[in-house]
Amino acid sequence: MHPTETTTPAPRGAAPADYVIIGAGSAGCALAYRLTEAGRRVTLIEFGGSDMGPFIQMPGALSYPMNMPRYDWGFASQPETNLGGRRLATPRGKVIGGSSSINGMVFVRGNPMDFQHWADSGAAGWDYAGVLPYFKRMETWHGDPDGAQTSPLRGTDGPLHITRGKRKNPLFNTFIKAGQQAGWPRTEDYNGARQEGFGPMEATIWKGRRWSAANAYLRPAKKSGLLTVVRGMARRILFQGKRAYGVELEMKGRIVTLEATREVIVSASTINTPKLLMLSGIGPADHLAQHGITALADRPGVGANLQDHLEVYMQYTSLKPITLYTYYNLLGKGRVGVEWLLQKTGLGASNQFESCGFIRSSEAVDYPDIQYHFLPLAVRYDGKSAAKGHGFQAHVGPMRSKSRGSVRLSSADPAAAPQIRFNYMSHEDDWTEFRACVRHTRRIFDAPAFAEFRGAEIQPGDDVQSDAQIDAFIREHAESAYHPCGTARMGAASDPMAVVDPELRVIGVEGLRVADSSVFPRITNGNLNGPSIMTGEKAADHILGRPMLREDA
> Residues comprising the binding site?
95, 103-106
Residue 120 main-chain phi, psi, to 5 deg:
-65, -20
420/441 Cα distance (integer angstroms)? 31
For residues 107, 111, 116, 117, the Cα torsion angle rounded to the nearest 10 degrees is: -90
Write down the H helix ranges in 45-169.
Answer: 54-57, 112-120, 128-138
Distances from the Cα of 405 to the Cα of 80, 83, 168, 219, 422, angstroms? 10, 14, 41, 35, 4
Residues 6+ apart with CB under 8 A from 209: 57, 58, 59, 215, 344, 349
Report in angstroms the alpha-carbon separations of 55 from 60, 93, 441.
Answer: 9, 13, 32
Closest CA to 444 of 359, 322, 519: 359
* Contact between 275 and 237 (Cβ < 8 Å): no
Phi and psi, residue 431, nearest 5°: -70, -40
User: Is position 483 annotated as part of the catalytic site?
Assistant: yes
What angle, 0 to 180 degrees and rounded to 10, lies between the N-to-C axes of helices 128-138 and 529-544? Answer: 100
Rounded to 5 degrees, what angle do the CA atoms 8, 233, 263 make?
70
* Residue among 291, 390, 483, 542 flagged as catalytic: 483
Report the distance separating Cα 43 and Cα 126, nearest Å: 27
Residues paired with residue 379 on neighbouring β-strands, in sequence order: 386
CA-based max dimension of the chain: 70
Kindly report whether the peptide bond that precedes residue 448 is cis, defined as omega within 30 degrees of 0: no
DSSP one-letter string for 142-195: ---TTS----TTS-BS-SEEEEE----SHHHHHHHHHHHHTT--B-S-TTTT--
Binding residues for FAD: 95, 103-106
Active site residue ranges: 483
